Amino acid sequence: MRYIDKTESGGPEVLMVTEGPQPAPGPGEVLIRVAAAGINRPDLMQRQGTYPPPPDASPILGLEVAGQIVALGKDTAAWKLGDAVCALTNGGGYAEYVSVPQGQCLPVPAGLDMEAAAALPETFFTVWSNVFDRAGLKRGERFLVHGGSSGIGTTAIQMAKSMGAWVAATAGTPEKCRACEKLGADLSVLYTQKDFVREIRTATKGYGVDVILDMVGGGYVGRNLDLAARDGRVVSIAFLKGAMVEIDLSHVLFKRLVLTGSALRPMPKEAKAAIAVNLKTKIWPLIESRKIRPIVFAVFPFSEAAEAHRLMESGQHIGKIVLRVSDFV
């Protein structure tokens, strides 16, 4: 099969199309012929050599795909040959074929093409796991996501709003702020010009927010604790501005805050399968009814993976970037 390899750790130019053996599904796994693969920031980190895959994972980049099941391992009664699925992979998505634990697959929602479906798994699994499972966001609560125009952000805005939360988002340009509002954000804050703590505290009449999803880290950590309401939950999933920070823990003490976080990739397959069940039950019907939709900014041919990475690194996109691997479906 063809797949995207990196000649060495470095910039996007190290990515190249090469050939290697087709994987075989193990027990409890399905083999997917890949139609499209989503691009995610961990892919960039792995390319740069700062985010090595787990020892038991494929070394090939790519954490989400959509395609068709073409082979079944033992004990895979949940699926049949020919099923159209999107899947959270453990690596290996930038390829014509990938083996995936069956519990990490979901049916392609009715009405979506393969490229849109490939933009679902990584962000939807991440948001559900952190915002709803870990932070327990409830109807009527106030929610803030930083990086509202990113793949995670556009997903989090829609999911939180659909679950009855008041939603705020930060973004870096007026265009990105408008995009957040179109997706349902009650308030968008242009962080390059305004203090998000002051703006959101004013909008909530001093209350603050109950749940914060943060991908920025650095100086945002202390400001998140300042903005969080009593019994608030602050969830960190990335540290684009740094992981080493000094914070005032008195906010945690006096407001009874929970400061937590998680990484999706190292989770056991059983935990990922449980997330998939919740998504299929509670979120997939909203996608099929067009109340939630994946935001695909650009689709690149398989051979232009380097250009797709350059676009993500530029920060000029809104939503997801996808590779078209095959036109077979």
pLDDT, one tens digit per residue, over 159-205 is 999 999 999 999 999 999 999 999 999 999 999 999 999 999 999 99
**Does 143 lie in the same domain as 187?**
yes
**Does 310 lie in the same domain as 228?**
no
**Does 150 lie in the same domain as 108?**
no
Q: What is the pLDDT of residue 327?
A: 67
Say if residues 168 and 143 touch (Cβ distance below 8 Å).
yes
- Residue 326's pLDDT band, with cuts at 50, 70 and 90, is confident
**Does 98 lie in the same domain as 129?**
no
Q: How far is CA 78 from CA 69, 71, 92, 145, 162, in A?
A: 12, 13, 22, 35, 28
- 32 phi, psi to nearest 5 deg: -110, 130
In sequence order, the 6+-apart residues with CB closer than 8 A to the CB of 120 are 38, 64, 66, 86, 106, 109, 287, 294
Q: How many residues belong to the chain?
A: 329
Q: What is the pLDDT of residue 329?
A: 40
Question: What Rg value do the Cα atoms of the chain yield, rounded?
Answer: 19
Tell me the sheet residues that pair with 29: 101
How many distinct structural domains can be found in the chain?
2
Instruction: Count CB neighbours of 267 within 10 A.
Output: 17
**Does 132 lie in the same domain as 241?**
yes
And the tokens for 125?
Answer: 């699994």
**Does 249 lie in the same domain as 130?**
yes
**Does 128 lie in the same domain as 105?**
no
Q: Pick the last residue of a domain from 235, 261, 287.
A: 261
**Number of continuous H segments (helices) and E segments (strands) in the chain:** 11, 15
Give pLDDT tens digits for 25-82: 999 999 999 999 999 999 999 999 999 898 889 999 999 999 999 999 999 989 999 9
Give pLDDT tens digits for 207-265: 999 999 999 999 999 999 999 999 999 999 999 899 999 999 999 999 999 999 999 99
Any domain includes 329: no
Write out the residue range of the structural domain in which residue 288 sits: 2-120+265-324
CATH of the domain at 85: 3.90.180.10
Q: Pick the last residue of a domain from 222, 241, 261.
A: 261
Give pLDDT tens digits for 257-283: 999 999 999 999 999 999 999 999 999
Give the pTM. Answer: 0.96
Residue 92 has pLDDT above 60, yes or no: yes
Gap between the Cα atoms of 8 and 288, Å rounded: 41
- 116 phi, psi to nearest 5 deg: -65, -40
Gap between the Cα atoms of 185 and 207, Å rounded: 17
**Does 166 lie in the same domain as 98?**
no
Q: What is the pLDDT of residue 56?
A: 87
Residue 104 has pLDDT above 60, yes or no: yes
Q: Pick the last residue of a domain from 237, 261, 285.
A: 261
Residue in this structure with the two tokens 């969080």, named with its chain if needed: 228
Gap between the Cα atoms of 287 and 276, Å rounded: 14
Give pLDDT tens digits for 17-27: 999 999 999 99
**Does 249 lie in the same domain as 128?**
yes
Gap between the Cα atoms of 91 and 217, Å rounded: 25
